[in-house]
Chain A
Amino acid sequence: MLILLCGIVFLHVAALALLFVSTVVSAWAVNPTSSADLWFNCTTINGVNSCQPGDTGVWIQAVQALMILSIIFSFLSLFLFFCQLFTLQKGGRFFLTGAFQVFASLFVMSGAIIYTVMNAEWVPPSESFGFAYILAWVAFPLILISGLIYVILRKRE
């Protein structure tokens, strides 16, 4: 039982960490000389690294908001999990925790989809997707699975 609990919490925390790294690190669209993420465009010319605030279009702001919201919901879900662990009656399901986690996964999915579809606007064709972008896509199924586990899980002693 303890192993199961540890495993679930580990999965949740790992997915949350992936989400965090993906949102913050500047590697959504990379190039040999420049990298762009949700917040800045950084270029390295002759060894000098310079960052400028990125484009302020509607869609990139929507992606920013969705990623931040998914982090918030995942945090809330972790917090609720520990709350429900102690207050839920035996046999009960962690519905609320699972619901928040599923919402978080939906937000990540929406954010990644919007970035994929609309990136023609702010990423020149010479750039390829960086690892932070891939992390966002990897985090989405992990969070979804974690949420579904919470919904199916029943509390036992």
Chain B
Amino acid sequence: MCSVQKLTSTSPQSEAIVVYTGWERHALVGSDVRLSCSFFSWRWTSEDVTFSWSYRPDGAKDSISIFHYTGGAPYVDNKGPFRDRLEFVGNPPRRDGSILIRNLDFSDNGTFTCDAKNPPDIVGRPSSVRLLVFEKIPIQAGVITGAIIGVVLGLLILVVAIYYLMRFLVARRVFDLSVSKHGKKGKGKEAQQRQASVLVDPAKQKAAASEKKKQESRREKK
């Protein structure tokens, strides 16, 4: 049983082809949009590869064919809604069947379906991309939300970092001062003290004040 099944599976059969397009494309009125279409196939790209684009307007039930590539030559729409606006910008040997639509209008809203075939790989589902034409591109959901949250939290972290940095610097200055005070003895001592106290006066006052507070609270505790 198994061996018979194996034999039948090795005979040349068509395998599935997978077509890729985008999901949605947003574009402004009057601009150009490039609709990309690519496919995955286990076989080498054959010379008879075909690409087919069809268009179904929003709200309509039927779709019309607007582009076909076969036998090495592209055939663009010359009668339908996209005449003189459609251009083939793909590269079939590289599995790219993209088209370019120029000068978009609101009537171009709809679904574009790409069907690619790579003989003998012909079994596959066509893939669709929705085109949305806007007056002005709307802001994506969540962009501004994320931006506001990020900025505020960033500022918070910045303030915390600066606070700790200032405290660290102040503590280091006080430490340096006390070291130099005990290190150098003699005449220069007083002059140095006065200089140092002028330099770090506010910081020293703060440190001294917190020291006093701590001593007071310790006394209070007792």
Distance between Cα atoms of A61 and B138 in the complex (Å): 13
A68: CB under 8 A from chain B? Answer: yes
A57: CB under 8 A from chain B? Answer: yes
B142: CB under 8 A from chain A? Answer: yes
Query: A62 is contacted by which of B140, B148, B214, B221 (Cβ under 8 Å)?
Result: B148
Query: A72 is contacted by which of B138, B153, B217 (Cβ under 8 Å)?
Result: B153
Residues of A within 8 Å of B220, CB to CB, are: 90-91
A56 adjacent to B140 (CB under 8 Å) = yes
B139 adjacent to A64 (CB under 8 Å) = no
Distance between Cα atoms of A89 and B221 in the complex (Å): 10
Query: B217 is contacted by which of A53, A65, A66, A89 (Cβ under 8 Å)?
Result: A89
Interface set of A (CB-CB < 8 Å, partner B): 53, 56-58, 61-62, 64-66, 68-69, 72, 89-91
B73: CB under 8 A from chain A? Answer: no
B143: CB under 8 A from chain A? Answer: yes
B144 adjacent to A58 (CB under 8 Å) = yes
B4: CB under 8 A from chain A? Answer: no
Interface set of B (CB-CB < 8 Å, partner A): 138-149, 152-153, 213-214, 217, 220-221
B144 adjacent to A65 (CB under 8 Å) = yes
Query: B149 is contacted by which of A58, A65, A89, A90 (Cβ under 8 Å)?
Result: A65
Residues of A within 8 Å of B152, CB to CB, are: 69
Residues of A within 8 Å of B213, CB to CB, are: 89
A61 adjacent to B143 (CB under 8 Å) = yes
A90 adjacent to B217 (CB under 8 Å) = yes
A65 adjacent to B148 (CB under 8 Å) = yes
Taking the nearest CB of chain A, how far is it from the CB of B155, in angstroms? 11
Using known A-B contacts A56-B139, A57-B139, A90-B221, determine if residue A62 contacts B144 with beta carbons closer than 8 Å: yes
Residues of A within 8 Å of B153, CB to CB, are: 69, 72
* Sample of 5 A–B contacts (CB below 8 Å): A58-B139, A61-B142, A69-B153, A72-B153, A89-B214
A56 adjacent to B148 (CB under 8 Å) = no
Taking the nearest CB of chain A, how far is it from the CB of B66, in angstroms? 31
B148 adjacent to A69 (CB under 8 Å) = yes
A68 adjacent to B145 (CB under 8 Å) = yes
Distance between Cα atoms of A43 and B122 in the complex (Å): 43
Taking the nearest CB of chain A, how far is it from the CB of B9, in angstroms? 45
Closest B residue, CB atoms, query A89: B217
Distance between Cα atoms of A57 and B141 in the complex (Å): 8
Taking the nearest CB of chain A, how far is it from the CB of B159, in angstroms? 11
**3 cross-chain pairs, A with B, having the tightest CB-CB distances, nearest first:** A65-B148, A61-B144, A56-B141
Closest B residue, CB atoms, query A55: B141
Residues of B within 8 Å of A66, CB to CB, are: 148
Distance between Cα atoms of A62 and B144 in the complex (Å): 7
A61 adjacent to B149 (CB under 8 Å) = no
Distance between Cα atoms of A65 and B150 in the complex (Å): 9
A61 adjacent to B139 (CB under 8 Å) = yes
Taking the nearest CB of chain A, how far is it from the CB of B12, in angstroms? 48
Residues of B within 8 Å of A68, CB to CB, are: 145, 149
B145 adjacent to A65 (CB under 8 Å) = yes
Task: Knowing that A56-B140, A72-B149 touch, tell me 16 more A-B residue pairs with CB under 8 angstroms.
Answer: A56-B138, A58-B139, A61-B139, A61-B144, A61-B145, A62-B145, A62-B148, A64-B145, A65-B145, A65-B147, A69-B148, A69-B149, A69-B153, A89-B213, A89-B217, A90-B217
Taking the nearest CB of chain A, how far is it from the CB of B59, in angstroms? 18
